[in-house]
Amino acid sequence: MKKSMKGFSVVIAVGMVLCLSGYAFAQGGPSLIIVANDESYKASENWIEFLRNESVPFKQTKPAEFEKYKNEKFIAILGGPGESGGVGEIVKQVLTKEEQEFVSKPGSSRMYLKENTFAPGQKILVFAGADREAAGKARVSNRSKWIDYLNAWFNIDISSAGLTAY
């Protein structure tokens, strides 16, 4: 009888730890820091709404505030090296010279996942292109990849089935 009570106590203790960690996550766990200028946020309204509807924890910030967030675990940057409002300067800190040159060519776009750029364990998604439209194309054409990343990073279950404009 003593053995079963001890096992039961361990199960209860583990359950409490799991509940408390879930609570801690909901109260202030990691968020996706989204960095963009006003025009890129406006062009990405559908994507932002999608993230909200799927319960992805995120915070929108402008390039001028990036220094406060540059060591956060998960970051998404909307725009390429030529993007205005300070976004391009941030992208230049994240992408290699070759990557910058590639996405600066007219019509070019690509999504990059960069790791450990400003902090250990950090993941940065860069949706880059030669212009705002191309950067948006990088997001749309790579949706299954970034959905997989978000699912893993935030322990959620977003399905890519039926997605069109994100």
User: Which two three-digit tokens encode residue 60?
Assistant: 């929108």
- Flag the least confident range among 9-13, 68-72, 98-102, 154-158: 9-13
Task: Compute the chain's Rg from CA coordinates.
Answer: 19
DSSP 94-107: HS-HHHHHHHHSTT
Q: Residue 129: beta bridge partners?
A: 109
Q: State yes or no: pLDDT of 31 exceeds 60.
A: yes
Domain boundaries, the chain: 1-29, 31-154
Decide: residue 132, CB within 10 A, 0-12 exposed, 13-18 middle, 19+ buried: buried
Contacts of 110 (CB under 8 A, 6+ apart): 99, 102, 103, 128, 129, 138
Q: State yes or no: pLDDT of 15 exceeds 60.
A: no
Average pLDDT over the chain reads 86
Average pLDDT over residues 16-43: 71
Contact call for residues 155 and 57 (beta carbons, < 8 A): no
Cα separations (Å) of 132 from 22, 23, 112? 37, 38, 16
| pLDDT at 132 (0 to 100) | 92
User: Which two three-digit tokens encode residue 33?
Assistant: 């820091």
Using pLDDT thresholds of 50, 70 and 90, give the confidence band for residue 11: very low
Longest dimension (CA), the chain: 74
Q: Which fold has domain 31-154?
A: Chitobiase; domain 2 (3.30.379)
Using pLDDT thresholds of 50, 70 and 90, give the confidence band for residue 5: low
